[in-house]
Structure formats: structure tokens, C-alpha cells
Structure 1
């Protein structure tokens, strides 16, 4: 009898193990978060390069805080602001530091317009005095501190405004903004959707000038759609929407002299699109990128705002299209780092302030997939690329001369870095087809790991009891091109 009982017990145990290993993933488990990965709160590096801040929300009290942490220890070292201490602001959903980190712009009552555009009520919080100042009684768009933190520029009802924090004075800069006709300082629907930006104005280096775009939508056809809200009936919403072949907005560039209020138009040779503007380090010099309608010819101009003179910095053409990115860094002398696909792969280039090519920094049959920035003190450019395989992403640094390249995080899979302001540290997020996100802290100069931050080991253990099929990577030939692919077969696939 004992042998029979023992045999029965072993058989039952074996059946339980087999059942546990082949447990099926259910839809309800997915939606209930059974396989949700742990992550890091979005952090912002501080100017000192050794600390960062994180926005936290108390789920019980609904109060919010901006807390300060140390990179090396990852321990909390203080709270910058807490809505629990602010009578005017029960909570806020986002924050932005002034350049000197003495003030914060706090976002409240945010409501979406389109994919990226938002309206909201904003407050300035002075850290030393703990004073709170409301920027506008109305909901506004895209508030931005001046370089010295004394003013906030923003857009309301398609017009550009400047708010002076100390005096509380608001000055309306443009007067012609009208819904579905004229837009100043923010983009129309096409630019927001196709070029991925909303704020269409920028302060110069010393805050004496603002460059902004003006969109004339008058000739753009209107589109109407019904919006279903909380009321009994839907409401019609009409906005300018150019279908293929129809008129787009006529976009022009303008320069505001902040002291006098004078606005000057800039002649860009009838540019069809103006997808990017960016001030250089010299307070009077502005870079402007333009595209033709086919988007296969890009021109970057240098605009002398003092003289209102325009010169060509560089031009790029492509048989298909020229991609628009934010991969542009001006160095101290206004020479600049730029990414381009002109040799068939996306690589990093160094140009002089006059637009002459100085060197191609990265080269090879692989792509630069992210440009993180440039540490001028160490002469190091940081980027992510496919050097370790087209389905992988690794993090590297390289000198501006194109030598002394170092692999910083290149484990097979995807590595993505978030750098401190002074490029002392980076937090690497690693994941692969088999491994959920793992977070580690590294030295930026050599990639040496300082410490582990967080992994998803518990999730991996949980998945061991489920019937999960692995991804099988390979390539497939289509029209003579080998394209990456993966296949997931059923667990009992024959």
C-alpha cells in the first residue's frame, strides 16, 4: 500500500508541475496587469549633473511633489516643491525648470487639442521664496521661460504673449490671430502631425529676441466632424485640414525685438515648409530648416537677426525624402553637429559655423538610431546605433574627430541611455525578446556599471509557469532585400 500511495503522490506531483509549466495566458490577466513591467519614473537631470528630479503623485491624497535624487546613491535628498504646501495648486501634472533652476513652471488642468497640443493653466513657483504666480487667468499653450527666468512667453487664442513675472504685466505681441485663419507661435494640424512639434517660437540666447512662425490657414479647406461629449447631442467641430493635393498653410518666419515690440518678417525665398527653427549660441544668429513640398530638398539657413540677412548653411537632397529630426547641436563657436543619411546610412557629421563640412564622425554600414548629445569638456559624442546588429541597439561614445570610439552598453538586445546634464552618468535601460527592462547606472566616459537600479526578475519567475513560445529571429527576402523578421510558433507546433 505504501508503494501505491507513493506512486500516486509522485504521479499527482508530476501532473501539477506539467500543468503549472503549461498554464495559458488569459486576456483578463493581460488587461489586469499581471505581466506589467516595472519602470522608472521620468527623471530630469539637474544642472550640477549629479542629481535628478522626479515627479511623484500620492494616489491617496492626489497631491504631487517634485523630488530630488542623487545619481550615485539613487537616494532621495530633498523635495523641490509639494502641492500639499500650495494653497493655490491642489496638484500639478508636469513641471519645467527655468535655466537657472530657481523657478518652476507647473502645469494644471491640462486638456488635449490634437495628438501633441495641449491647453492648460500654468503657475510659476519661485523655489527660494515659495511664491506662486499664475501666468494667465485663461488656458494657454506652450509657456516657455526666458533665458534669465524673468518672463514667460506663451500662446493664447492664436496670438503670442509675454508675461513678466515680477510685475505681473502681460503684453500681447501679435494681434491678428484668428481661429481657422491665422496662427502665431504654435503649429497648425499638419505641422503637429507630420513634423512632430507644437511650439513654434524660441527665445534667443539673451532673451532679447523671439523667433516665431506665422501660419496663414485662410486657403486651407475645412473639415467637419461630430464630437460626442457628456451632453445629449454631439457638437460639430470644424478645423482646417488639407487633404492630398489641397492647399497647405502659408508659413512665414518673424523676429520680435522684445524691448521695442517691433516685429520683422524674414525672407526665406518662399519656403514651403519650415519644420525647425533653433537659435545658435550667438544671440543674433538663428538656424532655420526649410523643405520643398515633396520634402526631398532641405535647406538650412543662418539668419542674422540684427541685420535681417539670410545665408545658406547647408543643403541636402534625397531621391525619396529628407528626414526631419532634432539632431542638431551648436558648439561654443557655432560650428555644429548634425545627422544625415546622405551616404545611405544615418550618420553624424561635424560642420563649421560657415556650413562647410569638417568631418564625418561616424561611418559604416549601420545606422545611428539616436543622438544623445555632445560633452565638449571631454570631446565626446554620445549616440545609439545598430553597430552590434540591425535588430540590436547599443550605446557608444566617440570623439568629434571620429576616433577613440567606446562601446558603453552593447548587450544583445536594446540598450537606451538617459544621460546626466554634464554627461557624468547615464541610466541604461536594457531589454530583449526574452528579458523585460533592466535599469542600471553607468559612468558615461567608459560605460563602467556603478550599480543595479531595478529589474523585472519577479515577472520572469512568474512567466516560467506559463506556456510561452519564444521569438525566432530570421530574415525574409522581399524584392531582393533581406528584411528582419521574427516568428512565434504555437507551443505544440508540429
Structure 2
């Protein structure tokens, strides 16, 4: 017994001796940060995807089936007129002939940033600055890939790539007063929103949300050199950051939805039956260019409406009203998807969050999923097999798994291991 006890003490000593204390330098150096998988953009062909590699110096096309690279779209070493050593991110035009590449990002709040954007024509291997007027936000291609809408200094601009011209959509943007196309602090923080710019499928219209925060109270706090990142300009004296911040119960931004017609340059405000303190956390064009879906919430956030709005006339029609005794979960906002003949929405009306299918006349077509568990994400619909794909916690509240369910209600589990599973599908939901 004494011998066993001595061996036990020796093991404790060895274990203790080998443990190295974690220092502040270890934490701030990023040594213990998680490694994320590079963001993936599905190709319209359904069998390929696009991603950044080599420390954000290349953008490549890969095959879903094997994961192997099949083509290089962009490389900082070989692109014409490229002075970048690396980039921060990219997006693809819908026709997959152009790239939006951004670098020199400056964070604004938790999710938002401004950066220097570039357009890249893949066929010509040519990189060009999007605009010379200063850093931009929320740049997005039109469906035909011939225009880019973006925000600078709270105003919206459209760059027409065929002619190299830049058109101002709005001119009333002003810090701490009027914001066009991007959200105020409340919307970004509470609704995970960084842009409201929405192109119509026919490229004719750009819709967006306008925020009037003129009457929102201001909040200020001091800035010091020692912040991360550091502010060397405040070495001797602190600076000050002031922004519009409504403490609970105070005045929120007044919001409205506007449409801009590219051909006539006309702005029109949509007619929505909402109160002055209502929220508009999402807008999105359906497959019909004459049907803009506008999601609204009351301030208590226990009543959500989805309107079908004609961007030309501005007339709105209520499609769906969703209510809850407590509040509407923010996750529901990103689980609304629109298809040519119907739309899918998540709802907790049964006590558990499930998927429902609605027609555009506002009638319920069917409840897609049922059970004493929650659907945490709607992932897509395969029109060919008429199957819906989603993420749920059927295996327990600590777990997430990936499933599909067909029109007959037959459910198939797709993920293999128990744990936290996530998925991103190609447009046809075949990979």
C-alpha cells in the first residue's frame, strides 16, 4: 500500500511539473483561438463551390464530390493591376463572371465594417477599384452582374460597370441622423443585420431601408490609447465616441422602405401600415420583381407581419401575421425562404419551432415538420425530389443534426455522428 501511494505522489509531481502556466501573451497572441473553415460559395451548376485559400491570396473553384481544386479564379500574384498582398473577403456575381474583393477592412460595430472594394473580371484577369470616393460598405452585385450597389457615408451609390459611372441613389445621409441601406446600431446588434440593399430579380429596382435616427438620444464613452486595437492619437488625452443609442424605452429610429428605379432614378416610399416605433428587420425580393417581401415587428417583438409590396406602386398586402405570448425569436427572421409558388417560414406556434409552407395568397398549405423538438435552421428545398432540408435537435437539446423530409412526411437523417452538426447546401440541394 505504501508503494502504491508513493507511485501516486510521483505521478502527481510529474503531472504538475509538466503543466505550463498560461500567460497573457498566450491569450492575446491568438494561440488558443479556434480555426474556422473558409467560407464557401456554392456555384449555380450545383457541383462546384468557390472558396479562398493560401491565406486569402487565391480564390479557387472546387468540386463538391472530391473537394479538389479545378480552377483558379483570382491570385494576387498573377492578377493584372493588382497591388494587394492579400484580401479580407470576396463575393461572386450571380453570373459567376465577376468577383467583388475587399481589403483594408475597418470594423464599425460587432458585425459591420467598411473596406476598399475591388471588382475583378475573371475572363480578363483584371482588378479595378470599385470607387475612388472613400471606403465602402455592403457592396452587392445586381443579378445580371453589370451593376454594384454600395453605401458610403450613409448614402447609397450604384456603380455601372459597363460604363464605369457612379450614380448617387440618396443624398440625405448624415452621421447620427439619416442612414440609407445599412442598419443603425440597434438593428445590427439585435437583428444581426448589416445591409438592407435588395436588388429585384430583373435588375430594374433597388430596395432598401432608410433609418431616421434624428430623435434617438446620444450616448458617449471615452477612448484611450490602450484599447485593442490601440489609439495612438489618444496617448496624452482621451478621445470620445458618440453614437445614437436608445436605452430601453427611449426613442428608436423611424424606419421606412424605399425603392429606386434604375432607369428613371426615381425614389418611392412604400406604403406600410406600421407605427412610428415598429421595426423592419428584413426585406427581400421574391422571385417576382413586383413582389418585395417586407417583415415588420412591433416594438414588443411579439407580433410579426410579412407584407407583399409592389415596388412600383408602393402598395402593400398582408401575407402573414405571426404572434407569440412572449416574443418572436430573432432566428425566425433568417428562416423565411421564398420560392416561385410558395414561401417557407419557421414558427413556434405549437410550442416548438417548426417549418410551415404558405401560398402567396396568405393561406397555410401545410405544416412541414412536427414533434417535441425544434428546427434550428431551414437549409433549402429540392424542387425535383420535393424535399425540405433542415437542422434540428431531435437527438436532444445539446445536439444538432441534419435532416431532410419529403412531401409524404418521410424523414431521413443525413448527418452521421451525434454532436453539433451544421450544413450548407448547393442551390439544388444535391450536395
Judge same fold: TM > 0.5, yes or no.
yes
1:181 aligns to 2:187 (yes or no): no
Distance 1:21 1:265 in 2: 69
> Partners in 1 of 2:35 and 2:222 — Cα distance?
39
Partner of 1:345: 352
Aligned-pair CA distance for 1:22 = 11
Aligned to 2:403: 396
Q: 1:88 aligns with which of 82, 94, 97?
A: 82
**Contact 1:382/1:395 (CA < 8 Å) preserved in 2?**
yes
- The alpha carbon displacement at 1:33 in A equals 7.7
Deviations 1:384-408 (A, max 9, x none): 1111222221110012x35121011
Partner of 1:257: 261
Shift of 1:13: 13
State the distance in 1 between where 2:31 and 2:182 align: 41
Query: Is residue 204–residue 279 contact of structure 1 (8 Å, CA) maintained in 2?
Result: yes
Partner secondary structure for residue 191 of structure 1: helix
Asked if structure 1 preserves the Cα contact closer than 8 Å seen for 2:286 and 2:340, the reply is no
Q: Using a 3 Å threshold, how does the CA distance of structure 1 residues 175 and 35 change in structure 2: closer, same or farther?
A: closer
Report the Cα offset of residue 145 of structure 1. 0.3
Structure 2 Cα separation of the partners of residues 146 and 196 of structure 1: 23
Which residue does 1:423 correspond to in 2? 429
Match of 1:51 among 38, 48, 51: 48
Equivalent in the alignment of 2:110: 115
- Match of residue 168 from structure 1: 164
The answer on whether the counterparts of 1:362 and 1:402 sit within 8 Å (CA) in structure 2 is: no
Q: SS in structure 1 opposite 2:100?
A: strand
User: What SS does the aligned partner of 1:290 have?
Assistant: strand
Partner of 2:150: 154
Which stretch shifts more, 254-263 or 12-21? 12-21
Instruction: Give the TM-score normalised by structure 2.
Output: 0.89
Q: Secondary structure at the match of 1:387?
A: coil
Structure 1: how far apart are the matches of 2:239 and 2:282? 35
Distance in 2, matches of 1:152 and 1:370, equals 30
Deviations 1:187-237 (A, max 9, x none): 111111111102122001111011111111111111112223112333222
Point out the more displaced range, 191-200 or 320-329: 320-329
Asked if 1:104 corresponds to 2:99, the answer is yes
Which of 298, 303, 318 aligns to 1:297? It is 303
User: What SS class does the counterpart of residue 192 from structure 1 fall into?
Assistant: helix
CA shift for structure 1 position 57: 3.6
1:365 paired residue among 348, 360, 372: 372
Mapped contact 1:388–1:410 kept (Cα < 8 A): no
1:286 to 275, 281, 292: 292
After superposition, the C-alpha distances for 1:156-210 in whole angstroms (9 at most, x for unaligned) are 1111111011211000011111111111111111111111102122001111011
CA distance in 1, matches of 2:245, 2:402: 40
Alignment map for 1:130-149 (pairs within 5 Å): 130-137=125-132, 138-149=134-145
The Cα of 1:37 is off from its aligned counterpart by 6.6
Contact 1:301 1:314 in 2 (8 A): yes
- 2:344–2:358 CA contact under 8 A, matched in 1: yes
- Counterpart of 1:469 in structure 2 is none
Per-residue CA distance 1:292-316 (angstroms, 9 max, x = gap): 1111111111112233221110001
Task: Note if contact 1:350-1:360 (Cα within 8 Å) is conserved in structure 2.
Answer: yes
Q: Equivalent residue for 1:237?
A: 241
The alpha-carbon distance between structure 1 residues 13 and 222, as it changes in their structure 2 partners (threshold 3 A), is: closer
Among 28, 39, 43, which residue is 1:42 paired with? 39
> Could you tell me which residue of structure 2 aligns to residue 73 of structure 1?
66
With over 3 angstroms needed to count, the CA separation of the structure-2 counterparts of 1:20 and 1:349, relative to structure 1, is: same
Output the CA distance in 2 between the equivalents of 1:18 and 1:368.
Answer: 49
| Cα offset, 1:332, TM superposition | 2.0
Question: Whole-Å Cα distance in 2 between the matches of residues 390 and 259 of structure 1?
Answer: 52
**Taking structure 1 as reference, are residues 424 and 18 closer, same or farther at Cα in structure 2, changes over 3 Å only?**
farther
Match of 2:227 in 1: none
After superposition, give the CA deviation of every residue in 1:296-348 in whole Å (9 maximum; x if it has no partner).
Answer: 11111111223322111000111110123211111222x11111111110000
Rounded Cα–Cα distance in structure 1 between residues aligned with 2:303 and 2:165 = 43
* Cα distance change, pair 130–220 in 1 and its aligned pair in 2 (3 A): same
Any conservation in 1 of the 2:381–2:428 contact (CA below 8 Å)? no
Q: What residue in structure 2 maps to residue 64 of structure 1?
A: 57
Q: How many residues align?
A: 410
Cα distance in 1 between the residues matched to 2:428 and 2:150: 29
Of 270-279 and 148-157, deviating more is: 270-279
SS in 1 for 2:163: coil
Backbone CA RMSD of aligned residues: 2.5
1:326 aligns with 2:334: yes
2:251 paired with 1:247: yes
What is the alpha-carbon distance in structure 1 between the residues aligned to residue 382 and residue 111 of structure 2? 30
Gaps of 5+ in 2: 225-230
Name the CA distance, whole Å, in 1 between partners of 2:169 and 2:38: 37
